[in-house]
Structures are given as structure tokens and as C-alpha cells.
Amino acid sequence: MTLRVVKVGTSLLRGQNGQTTASVIQHLTGALATSLARGDRVLLVSSGAVGLGCRRLGLDERPDRVVALQAAAAIGQGHLMGLYEQAMASHGHAVAQVLLTRSDLADRRSYHSASATLHQLLDWNVLPIVNENDTVSAAELRFGDNDTLSALVAAAVGADELILLTDVDRLYSADPRIDATAKPITDVRDPAELAALEEGAGDGGRWGTGGMTTKLAAARIATASGISVHLADGRQPMVLEKLLAGGRGGTVFHPHPEPLGNRKSWLAHALQPLGSLQLDAGACQALQYRGASLLLVGVKGVEGQFGANQPIRMLDPKGVEVARGLSSMSSEALDRALRDESPRVRAGEEGSPVVVHRDALVMIPPPTIQPQET
């Protein structure tokens, strides 16, 4: 039995070549129902609420104001779910709406609760349909795109595969819509290769501001958690059916050889750090190569305001993030401790307090090369 998360975006749900949103959803749900009939488990992450809301309102352009977007999403979400419910009912299956914000997954208890709810729906052979809760999400609580959401959901439920349906057939070395020399990339096996592709996808890079940027970020999150990612052309009706039957996408991102566990994945990807700690070189070495906790003696400075047990980033002397985790001390307590810490502690003659326990931190990225002993 395979557990798959399928993500479909607004560009596909708009329909094209004479297809309506309803007909697109009919094709999607037909493939999903066939997979469920085989005994596999499927979870759908679907965009489209804002676009459908604008259409229902007769708006020619997408609103600029956040409150207008939220209102459009409130109108469109009900219509979107109605289309999915009607389509799946024709195949004898129920659907369930699951709306999430980043804060739902940033809290460990809520993260477990969301995972348990999704698994219960899957146990009941119900199709969970997940979307970002656009009607209430403040800017700082938004995922920003459903590609990221789909990867976080896939990690939360322990999926085997994440299928990203898009309007290109695969990943290319450049944007094939504007560069005739773009070469197809069928497999991404190495985390370093994925990191290089993601770096090139930033503003001004090979991909500019196109949608491939967020798909590469989703692939990084999912593969780090041991999940295969298939990028495929959702415009072709038979593509999803083949993927759900065990086929491959146009580009396959292979899982990291040493995947993060559930808690480490949550620490690395679901949390939104509230501050940063500047570390000395010795502390960075201890974290990266000795599996140590972060001690107060290795902290050189504090940025931001955060409470105890809240997420922070750990930066090396050059300002590069090397780890993130949950600080056992508030920013105020850390500032005070750094001012008051005795010279004996700084000299290593007394035990230094633990600031971030090893079980509450994750390396960014996980180290893959150990230093040679001399």
C-alpha cells in the first residue's frame, strides 16, 4: 500500500483547450478514485479557491488587497469543495476539507493533531483535500504557495511519494518557454545537485520568478524527509493515472540517502524561527561533527525577541545558517546570561548551560561529509 500526496495548482484548475474547472476535476478525481480502489492511500492538496471566487464575483482581475483576496477565497473555497464532492461522490467516495495555516504546523501539538486527523480520514477511505486557509491567514502565517504546503503535509503523514502536477512536462536547465537551448532533467539524485538547482532558481537566476522555484523548494523539503517527488505535466489527462499506478514523472527527485526523522523534519521545515544566535567556530564544529548540544559558551550574540522553547536559527561566524531548533532560554535570559556569565565558564572550567539540546535541533543542511582525522 502506497501513500501519495498529489498537488494541483490554480493554473491547471482554470482549464484550457475548452476544458472547464469542473471537467478538470472530473479527470483528477477519476484517477484518484481508481488509486483508492487498488487499496492505495491518496491525499490531495488543491489550490484554486481565490480564482474560483473571482470568477463567481465576475472580477476581471485578481484583487491586490489582502482582505479582498481573503474574501474571494471564502467565496471560492465552498465552490471548489462542491465540485470535488460531486465528482468523488460519482465514484462512491466522500471528501473532507482540511484548511491549514503555518501556525497549525509550527506548533508540535497541532502538527501531530493534523497528522492524526489526516490519517483517520485515510483510514476511512475518505479523500482529504488540503488547502491553505486563505480566508484568515495573516501574511506572516502564510505558506506562500501550496507547493510548500504539499511537501510539509507529505512529511507530516509520512508519505511515500509527492506528485507535483504543473503546466510543464519536466524540469529543464532553463525556462523552456523562453530559452530554446533548455535541456530536460529527468532525475535529481544528489542533494547537492538539488541545492544548486534551487540556488539558480532565485530572482535573477535561470528561472527568474517562475513557479519552478517553489517546486524545487518543495522537492528539497520532501526528499530530505525520505519522500520521492515526481514533477509531471498535469495538462495531460492520463498522466496522473499512470503516476498513481506506479509510473514516474517527467522529473524524479530521489530521496535523501539519510532522511530526517519526523521530529527533525518538523524542526527543519515547519517552524518559523523568531530569532537568531551567532555562534563561534568551536560551537559550529561541535554541532556539525560531534553531535553536541549548543552550550552558552559557544553563543556570541542574540538577535530578535523570543521566549523559551521557541524556534531560532543558529549562524556561523560568517552569518550562514548551520542549524535551527528550540531555544531553552528566552532572548532576554540569553542577553542577561551573556553579560553575566563568569570568566570561569568562558574558560571552560565550569559547566556551561545548554541553550539548544541536541534532540531539539537539526543541522541545515544535514552534514554528509565528515572531517578526516589527522
| Average pLDDT of span 359-373 | 61
| Mean pLDDT estimate for the chain | 84
* Residue 210 banded pLDDT, cuts 50, 70, 90: very low
Q: Which amino acid, 132?
A: E
**Residue 339, pLDDT score:** 83
* Residue 66 banded pLDDT, cuts 50, 70, 90: confident
% the chain with pLDDT above 90: 45
- Output the nine-digit C-alpha cell for 78: 465552498
**Residue 242, pLDDT score:** 94
Residues 133-145: pLDDT tens digits? 766 655 544 555 7
Contact 315, 279 (CB under 8 A): yes
Residues 298-351: pLDDT tens digits? 999 999 999 999 999 999 999 999 999 999 999 999 998 888 765 544 545 456
| Average pLDDT of span 105-124 | 91
Domains and CATH numbers, the chain: 3-264 (3.40.1160.10), 273-363 (2.30.130.10)
**Residue 367, pLDDT score:** 43
Residues 244, 245, 247, 252, CA torsion sign: positive
- Output the nine-digit C-alpha cell for 67: 482582505
Higher pLDDT, 188 or 259: 188
| Average pLDDT of span 108-127 | 93
